[in-house]
Chain A
Amino acid sequence: MQEKTTIEEIEQEIVEEFSLFDSWDDKYEYIIDLGKKLPLLEDRYKVDENKVRGCQSTVWLGAEFRDGKVFFKADSDAVIVKGLISMLIRVLSGQTPDAIIAAKLDFINQIGMTSHLAQTRSNGLLAMVKQMKNYALAYKVKEAAEKN
């Protein structure tokens, strides 16, 4: 199902879901729930090279490239970060490298979670988004090289 949906469409879907909440408490409750539900990363992914280190919490990110699309798996030791990760994965996983590189991820701003991507949070989330785009770029380069 996700393969048929664009990044913007999924972002819009999330924004609409969040518009149902009228308090911050509800928003966080939802994000924490998502965090708890995010499947735990298998230990083989929890290696240093997959670690995106923040000052306070740690994020592990693994990626796979299949049929021209990038699939992400991630985990964190902090549950709110995990919830936010889960949304990023919902948006970006299963997309093409070009779409991932171009993604503006405005939904984070629209659901009022921008501060979590700010430098001060130091939670590895910002670094994770960069890392996701780096993976996409790397796969794109690799794919182009293979075609040549």
Chain B
Amino acid sequence: MTETLTIKAAYDVGAIRREFPALNRDVKGKPLVYFDNAATTQKPQVVIDALVNYYSHYNANIHRGIHTLAEEATAAFEATRDAVKDFINAPSREEIIFTSGCTEGINLVAQTWGRANLKAGDEVIVSNMEHHSNIVPWYLICQEKGAVLKVIPIDENGELLMERFDELLTEKTRLVSVVHVSNALGTINPVKTIVEKAHKAGAVVLLDGAQSTVHLDVDVQDLDTDFFVFSSHKVYGPTGVGVLYGKKHLLEEMPPYQGGGEMIKDVAFDKITYNDLPYKFEAGTPNIADTIALKAAIEFTKEIGKEAIRRHENDLLSYATEGLLQIPGLRIIGTAKNKISVISFVIDKVHPQDLGILLDNRGVAVRTGHHCAQPLMDCYRIPGTTRASFAMYNTKEEVDSLLAGLQKAVKLLV
């Protein structure tokens, strides 16, 4: 007990907030309350500095230059690969592929692994709570190959029906691609069990870590997942960078994704030799600046500690959940036992968009709509929700602003 209290006291949210310049601003004359963290997080000063520093001092194209700037840029770029490897505990740096984001990572696997391995009659399994990014790439490749896309249903709490997953898994299943943590519900899925079961059935697994990586300790070796994707901008890093982790033997067997510079060893018109991992999948000049700055975001998070952050965010989640349930007509969508700090809700006779506009008018930023998960919304028979998602820098006072804003909005709208 005493220990917990000490840790809580040590979590200085005021000091953390001071590291995020954007949190200082006003919106519509009120201090910004930023609760749209599941869409993208704000950036700490160290990340902004890393970007400015790169462009101010060692902007150069990487890997093939022999001058000093190119060497410095290459070293910084590759240092992020090492930092990412540690961040998700990948066995080797060759298994870390930089992409533009989760979406590209999933498309890469669908278009390379999928194209090489799927044939007519094969089955791919996704879940009912997937982001469109983890549906459409599989839909496209399944259509092209004549493969079948199957869907794990969910229950009313927003948890996967695992017994139905067992039934869907057959000798025809080639790949299972599920979200680690749901963006619209906050549900933490039992991905380790999913991986185990899928492997037993002979299928490979891709985990969409878009929402999980910022909150949970991700260990791809412990999960034993074949592929894992996440986006930099959701872990306090810059936009435009993502990571695809893949097991080496799979990445080696996969054909290249895009062709161009960087991904080749030798080019003649009759024969092209591809570069080694990870460069085989990184055609063209990559997003150097943003990739370099991602390392600053990872280090920043590590310094504060994911466990401490999680405790803080869970406190906010409980506090907000309690407060929200006091609002008449409010129903929380996504009541799984294991949740990260995302609350989606609907209010009787209130359109989420109206709520979003009125909350913005009070400086409170939330997300409204279907959260790019239309099949999930259809499942709940709602057009959309209002979603508040918390990050390391949010406070209970901000939750109070949300609650006050909601009370007022409901009074106006109903």
Contact = CB atoms under 8 A, between A and B. Distances in A.
Nearest to A33: B412
A69 to B, nearest CB: 32
Contact of A32 (B29, B353, B384, B413): B413
Interface string B319-353: 00000000000000000000000000000000111
Interface stretch (B87-95, B101-109, B113-121, B354-362): B354-362
Contacts of A148: none
Interface size class of B (residues with CB under 8 A): 10 to 19
Nearest to A31: B357
Contacts, number: 41
A55 B369 contact: yes
Contacts of B305: none
Given A56-B384, A77-B351, A28 B368 contact: no
A78 to B, nearest CB: 4
A32 B412 contact: yes
Given A24-B28, A77-B351, A80-B357, A29 B369 contact: no
B348 to A, nearest CB: 14
Given A32-B413, A56-B368, A77 B383 contact: yes
Contacts of A116: 357
Interface in A87-142: 116, 122-123
Interface string B4-44: 00000000000000000000000011000000000000000
Contacts of A123: 353
A123 B383 CA distance: 13
- Interface size range on A against B: 10 to 19
A25 B29 CA distance: 12
B351 A29 contact: no
A71 to B, nearest CB: 26
Nearest to A24: B361
Interface of B: 28-29, 351-354, 356-358, 361, 368-370, 383-384, 408, 412-413
